Amino acid sequence: MDVGPLNLVVSSPAKINLGLWVTGPREDGYHNLVTLFQKIHLSDLIFIRTSPQGGLRVVCLPYGPQDQENLVYRAIQVLSEKIARSLNLKVRIEKHIPIGAGLGGGSSNAGTVLRVLGTHFGLSEENLLPLARTLGADVPFFVSGWPTAVGTGLGDRLEPVPSLPSYGVLLLVPGLQIATSWAYQRLREARAYTPEEEARERLQKVLMALREGNPRELQQALSNDFERVVFREYPELLELKQRLFDAGAWAALLSGSGSAVFGLFPPEAEVPVLGLEGVRAFRTRFQTGQHEDQTGS
């Protein structure tokens, strides 16, 4: 199949977790969970071009893993194996999503590139999701076209959720990175798990509160099991969460295993400006449509 040279620019969005409940360990050493993924309008830019020199290069600027160390490299490899075709590409990632903050930047880059290139070579989302699962638990969400989805299993089994109102989001990202493996180890040591039935009940309460725009119910329903162990080790993150409430957030939560903490603001309201020393702040909103801010050439 001759598809001609590639010259694409694609937006790769961050995610937040609107609730995350770890239901227990698996026999393979990983953990089952229930979570609500939500894409937001904070994105990396990815430039994909055919390389006249041949071979595959992945360059991540101004920071981040390069070439084989980058998950995008592996994503292109598994796609190349799937289509039985060598892909000679240069990929440049312009990073805006903080690394190690629980915002899914690396998974988003890999999933976005896999989706865009896979579609270019005639593969459907159904074909691509099994490949995405080999790359990481969050990668399938970024291959999917859904702005909001429930994740179960490792987080890689997805159920689409009808679009939610476009809530405002204020992200606070301190200058520290938290390894997901460390956070899971602490959860395992503390046995700080949520039974699956309870997790699904909490999920439904979160969805109802978000749709109804009920701040009291939202604040009570929104929870993340990682807060139990992460806040103990990093109390400054709990302080950031309180600063979000002080700024008028309807609810606030740690995203993933951290270190980012986010506050939710009413859809019709302007997200406030909050300046804190040593903390990066991002004012953004929920994505509400499929593949928003995506592909150009």
Bridge partners of 157, per DSSP, are: 152
What are the structure tokens assigned to 11, written together?
């937006």
Bridge partners of 24, per DSSP, are: 32
DSSP string computed for 207-269:
HHHHHHT-HHHHHHH--BTTHHHHHHH-HHHHHHHHHHHHTT-SEEEE-TTSS-EEEEE-TTS
Closest CA to 85 of 38, 44, 123: 123
Biggest CA-to-CA distance, the chain: 58
Q: Residue for token digits 């805006």?
A: 96
Closest CA to 170 of 288, 42, 287: 42
Please give the radius of gyration of the chain, using alpha carbons only, rounded to the nearest integer: 19
Residues catalogued as catalytic:
15, 138
CB-count exposure of residue 247 (10 Å: 0-12, 13-18, 19+) = middle
Contact yes or no for 98/174 (Cβ under 8 A): no
Q: CA-CA distances (angstroms) from residue 106 to 60, 78, 169, 282?
A: 11, 16, 21, 18
Q: Name the helix (H) or strand (E) containing 139.
A: helix 139-143
